[in-house]
Structure 1
């Protein structure tokens, strides 16, 4: 199982988050902490780049959905870019793609 790298670029009220590795039961708490801290600091326009994400299980998906709801309550948005592989399939099969403000598929998909 791979680790998860979370890189963040902050701007006024917004943030870009890049994920690299596996987003699963073991690593989801790290992303949850980062997103919670961003939202608490007023960064409610968030784009998560999943281009380098190798795997995402239900724990990781739940973190994404829960924070989409949180930024929505605050009048913000959470979008996903570079969506491919397991994450793309899960979003398609569950219909959760519609839960996000934007979902951009990877060009390699």
Structure 2
């Protein structure tokens, strides 16, 4: 039930759209790596694979001003949790991310900076063509290794500067 207060609207003017958004879903536990925090606004960050010194997380949902902070926090937390296990490389699989704006790019850079300062790295996988174009326009394709998918990122483990 929604209670609307405030001044009356002019006739013919539509009321603002109100949407109910479901909370984020936590990932099942992977032995040796704690689950990432639940993110806001339907954004999900789930640990999908662990191999060698690398952990892959599947990111799902739109990344915008509302979800950029939780994305950064989630990636940094996963990396922080895995540091004690000897793992230092984080693959962020964006195959299920239909939209990422400038706030999302800023969150990726902030997460990269924090993780790099702690001795780790973020690798991107499954980036859609429109997002890849943004990464190239902004020059961020030189900051992040970008791979076709998570499997390609795992195959390139020994080559952290490889790109698509």
TM (norm. structure 1) is 0.80
The answer to whether structure 1 residue 103 and structure 2 residue 146 are counterparts is: yes
Cα deviation for residue 10 of structure 1 reads 6.6
Bigger proportion of residues as helix: 1
Which position in structure 2 is the counterpart of 1:7? 46
Which position in structure 2 is the counterpart of 1:36? 76
TM (norm. structure 2) is 0.56
| Runs of 4+ residues deviating >6 angstroms | none
Q: Unaligned regions of 5+ residues in structure 1, if any?
A: none
Q: Secondary structure at the match of 1:35?
A: helix
The answer to whether structure 1 residue 49 and structure 2 residue 105 are counterparts is: no
Which position in structure 1 is the counterpart of 2:133? 89
CA distance in structure 1 between the aligned counterparts of 2:106 and 2:140, rounded to whole angstroms = 10
| Aligned residues of 1:8 and 1:16 also touching (Cα < 8 A) | yes
Match of 1:20 among 60, 68, 73: 60
Greater RCO, 1 or 2 (C-alpha within 8 Å, sep 6+): 1
Q: How many residues align?
A: 105
Q: Unaligned regions of 5+ residues in structure 2, if any?
A: 1-18, 20-40, 150-164
Q: Secondary structure at the match of 1:3?
A: coil
Q: Point out the structure with max Rg over C-alpha.
A: 2
- Cα-to-partner distance string for 1:26-82 (whole Å, 9 max, x where unaligned): 111221221221232225310000111100011111111111122222222110001
CA distance in structure 1 between the aligned counterparts of 2:53 and 2:117, rounded to whole angstroms = 15
Q: CA RMSD in A?
A: 2.3
